[in-house]
Amino acid sequence: MTVLLGGILLAAGVMLYVLEPVFSGRGAPLYDGVDDFDEGAARRRVALTALRDLEYDRATGKLDGDDYEMLKTELSREALQHMGPRQRGGGDPVTERASRELEEEIEQIRRALREGLQCGDCGHLNAFGARYCGRCGEALERDGGAS
């Protein structure tokens, strides 16, 4: 009888522990507020994610300089290719603006990697100024020492 009562209390404790976030109302945002609805933006986002991963692989020493340059050129070309037929013309101001925006996003990713904004637990790349990971909630460790 005591074992059965202990098992029931243990099961109830586990259920309360698992359901505590639901009852407390706490939560983390599921997205960073940027919505890309058209197909071109989605393809561009995939190419930019691949470029981010490439930057991370270079920063961790998985890629040497020659492989990095080759893959960066290929992925940049692919990202620009998915901008659409109007934006692919040579010397087009739209293409130049898109290329500049792409380079700015790559620089933001590099800066985030340098400043420790990528979560060490889940790998999520967080917004600038974040102190905790937007995906898992862990404290972000900065290169400057304090988190």
- What pLDDT is stored for residue 132 in this prediction? 85
Q: Which amino acid is at 108?
A: Q
Q: How does pLDDT run across 15-32, given as a tens digit for each residue?
A: 998 888 778 877 666 666
- Tokens encoding 101: 């925006």
Residue 134 DSSP class: T
pLDDT band at 146 (very low <50, low <70, confident <90, very high): very low
Answer with the residue of higher pLDDT: 7 or 47.
Answer: 7
pLDDT at 22: 77
CA 105 to chain centre: 12
pTM, entire model: 0.36
* pLDDT for res 8: 95
